[in-house]
Amino acid sequence: MNRRLLSYLYASVGHVMRPIYKAYEYRLDRQIKGDLMPQHIAIILDGNRRFAYDNGLMTKEGHIRGGKKAEEVLRWCLEDLNINTVTVYGWSMSNFERPESQVSETMQVIEERLRSLKDDPLLNTYGVRVKIIGNREVLNDNIRSLVEDVESKTEKYNMHNLNIALAYDGQDEIARAFNKMIENGVTHATPETIEKHLDTAHQPQPDLIIRTSGEKRLSGFLLWQSAYSELVFTDVYWPEFRKIDMMRAIRTYQKRHRRHGK
C-alpha cells in the first residue's frame, strides 16, 4: 500500500482513531516517565520533500510543514518530556547540491523559521540557549544575521539547549575543529581538546538519535558526538511525526542496555 493511500486512510479515520491515540499516548507517557529519560535527543528531520510529493503539495510546502513540526517537537521536549538538550539536523552541506530553485525555497523557509524562533516566548520561559552548528560561512547574509540575533538573545540562558544544524557536515565540523586548534596553538590533539573545539563544545553527547522517513544512516550527522548514541529509525515522514513516535523512540532507548563500549 503506497504512502499516498495510507495518508488518505489516516485522514478518513482520524476522527475515529483520535480517542484511541490519546489513550495510547497517555499509556506511553506513564511508561517512559517511570524510567531514565535521555538528556540529549538529536533528530534528523528527513522526508519533507517526499511528504509533499505523496500529498500532492509543492516542495516548499513540505519544508514549511517540516519547520512547523520542529517547533511542535521542541514544545513537547520542553513542556512535557523535560529534555535538557535538543539538536535538529535542518540542512546539510550536501543539500546545497540540489537544484537552485529548491535551495532558494528552503533557505526562505529557514529564514522564516529563524525569525519565528527569535521571538518565540518559549525560549524565555524555559531558558533555552540556541546555537547554530555548521559552517555558517556558506549561509547567506540574512540567515547569518538571524543566527547571530537568536544566539545573542539567548546566550545567557542555561536551563536547556537547542542546537540547529545548518550547512552542517560531521567531517567538515571535525576539520574546522582541527583548524581552530591550530589557530589556538594546540600542538597535541586529544579527544578532550578536539571536543572543546567542536560546534557542540561543553554540551552533553546525544543519548538518542532519531531519523525519520525510513532511511537508516546518519548522513554525516554528529559523527564525533554519536559514538555511543542509541539510534532509532522510524518510517514516518518528518511532517507527520507524532508525539507517540517520539515516545516510542524514547521507550526503545530505555529498553537498550547502554555499555558505552565496556
Question: Taken in order 122, 127, 133, 136, is the CA torsion positive or negative?
Answer: positive
* N residues, the chain: 262
Q: Within the chain, what is the greatest distance between any pair of CA atoms?
A: 64
- The grid coordinates of residue 119 equal 521571538
- Among all residues, which ones are annotated catalytic? 46, 95
C-beta contacts of 191-196 below 8 A and 24+ residues apart: 194/224, 195/224
Can you tell me the distance from the alpha carbon of 23 to that of 218, in angstroms, rounded to the nearest whole number? 33
Query: CB under 8 Å to 171, separation ≥6 — which residues?
Result: 220, 223
Cell numbers representing residue 106 in the block: 528552503
List 86's β-bridge partners, or say none: 41, 162
SS3 content of the chain, % helix, strand, coil (to 5): 55, 10, 35
In this structure, are strands 160-165 and 128-133 parallel, antiparallel, or unpaired? parallel
Distance CA 129, CA 161 (A): 5
Q: How many CB atoms lie within 10 A of CB 127?
A: 14
